[in-house]
Amino acid sequence: MAAVTRIDLHCHSTASDGTLTPAELVRAGVAAGLDVMAITDHDTTGGWAEAEAARPEGLRLVRGAEPSCRWFGSQPAIPLHLLAYLFDPAEPVLAAELARLREDREQRAEKIVEKLRADGVPITWGEVHGYAAGGSVGRPHIAQALIRAGLVRTTDEAFASSWLGSRYFVPKSDLDVFAAVRAVRAAGGVPVFAHPRATKRGRVVPDALIADLADEGLFGLEADHEDHTPAERAQMRALADRLGLVVTGSSDFHGTHKTVELGAFTTAPEAFEKVVSAATGVPVLG
């Protein structure tokens, strides 16, 4: 009987809003029985070097990132996430855009903290910045401060509309999604639409937009994700089939900032091989 290859193409480390360091993440990948794992931190390649250095024998490592994007074709614009795999981190256009996104994340998180403090919430920017520990700062780090202050019990509760979901929401200055797809391709990378039907995060884009992105160079859809119902997964598979896109599945692991386990959803080896074949930026390690 052939061994099952377990491939998880979406995982976060402390380089963004995960709670395992890149070294801990790759070791946890092996412990979870993964054969292939991607490190995909929000708007950064900052975890690559450490993950690379700590990569255990037998684990294949895909270097990637999750650029914050927006579709401006609807009013108001809809935020969305791409997954970018195996791109050249030295390619200047994409690198500059990611740097701009990270800087904006700092300013935005500071604004959210100010809003909370104006209402008497006892957290500080210094504390939140400390939780981010030099990585891309995100709302999960603010959630951590709210938990510490005893105002909510879980990250999920902190994302309720009375907190970070709406009342204390400040938008990020995301990348135009078409420009992002082009920039990832120009850097030799492979763009996949992350959790395209995750309605718990807000409005989702229409199928027609996904078709337009496919024309622009989008390579795949992350159909299998915990934020999708079984029906939504099936819809995304059918759409991918219709548009000639590959289907991926992944955990979107965030350590203790989320409840999902590594390998909770996986990608088929054939789909993974297509992603690898389409990339010219950096190789898979291992």
Q: Write the CB contacts of 84 (distance below 8 Å, at least 6 apart in sequence).
A: 40, 64, 65, 66, 67, 94, 180, 184, 187, 189, 190, 191, 192
Which tokens go with 4? 């099952």
Instruction: Please list the helix, strand and coil fractions of the chain in percent, rounded to the nearest 5, in that order.
Output: 40, 15, 45
Distinct helix (H) and strand (E) counts, the chain: 10, 9
Minimum gap (Å) between residue 130 Cβ and Zn ion: 22
x/- binding map, residues 66-95, to Zn ion, per CB under 5 A?
x-----------------------------
Distance of CA 189 to the CA centre of its chain: 15
Residue among 68 and 266 whose Cβ is closer to Fe ion:
68
Which entry of Zn ion, ligand AMP, Fe ion, none binds 258, CB below 5 to 8 A by partner kind?
A: ligand AMP
Q: Does 153 engage in binding with ligand AMP (CB under 6 A)?
A: no
The gap between the terminal CA atoms of the chain, to the nearest Å, is 23
For the packed helices 177-186 and 92-118, what is the interaxial angle rounded to 10 degrees? 140
Residue of the chain from 19, 40, 155, 266 that contacts ligand AMP (CB under 6 A): 155
Q: Which is nearer to ligand AMP, 148 or 200 (CB)?
A: 200
In the list Fe ion, ligand AMP, Zn ion, none, the entry touching 156 (Cβ below 5 to 8 angstroms by class) is ligand AMP
Cis peptide before 76 (omega within 30 of 0): yes
What are the residues binding Fe ion (CB under 5 A)? 17, 81, 194
Binding partner selected for residue 155 from Zn ion, Fe ion, ligand AMP, none, CB under the kind-specific 5 to 8 Å limit: ligand AMP
**Interaction of residue 140 with ligand AMP, rule CB under 6 A:** yes
Q: How far is the CB of 19 from Fe ion (least distance, A)?
A: 11
Dihedral (Cα; 185, 176, 42, 165), 10-degree rounding: -150
Q: How far apart are CA 40 and CA 25, in angstroms?
A: 11
Q: Which residues inside 211-270 make contact with Zn ion, applying CB under 5 A? A: 252
> Is 10 within 8 Å of 266 (Cβ atoms)?
no
Contact between 43 and Zn ion (CB under 5 A)?
A: no
Q: Does 254 bind ligand AMP (CB under 6 A)?
A: yes
| Residue of 9, 13, 17, 85 interacting with ligand AMP (CB under 6 A) | 17
Residues contributing to the site for Zn ion (CB under 5 A): 66, 252
Residues contributing to the site for ligand AMP (CB under 6 A): 17, 42, 138-140, 155-156, 159, 200-201, 254, 257-258
